[in-house]
Amino acid sequence: QFSGQLSTFDFRRKTSPCYNCLYPEETEAAEIRCATMGVFAPLVGIIGSMQASEGLKLLLGIDTTLCGKLMLLDALTMETRTIKMSRDTSCPVCAQR
């Protein structure tokens, strides 16, 4: 609908969480399908542009990325909120780094 999420996972950093740290497979989540609920079309472009910016910062070696953070965007009110994330030390995907 009107909400988007953005993060950067940089596996060159030992402290970087991975996608599985954020959304573990064993977690039961209420699944809301975009095909059923719809997506506010401009939101896709906004999140896509922000992710492209994050990718370019990684390529350029700029250290101020969203690594270890999750940005939540509400496109209805155009408000953002950023939450800190930590790597799960028992994560089956990235614990061996």
Euclidean distance between CA atoms 82 and 59, whole angstroms: 23
Residues with catalytic annotation? 34
Q: Longest C-alpha distance within the chain, in Å?
A: 40
Other Cβ atoms closer than 10 A to 85: 18
The helix (H) or strand (E) run that includes residue 94 is: none
Indicate the residue type of 77.
T
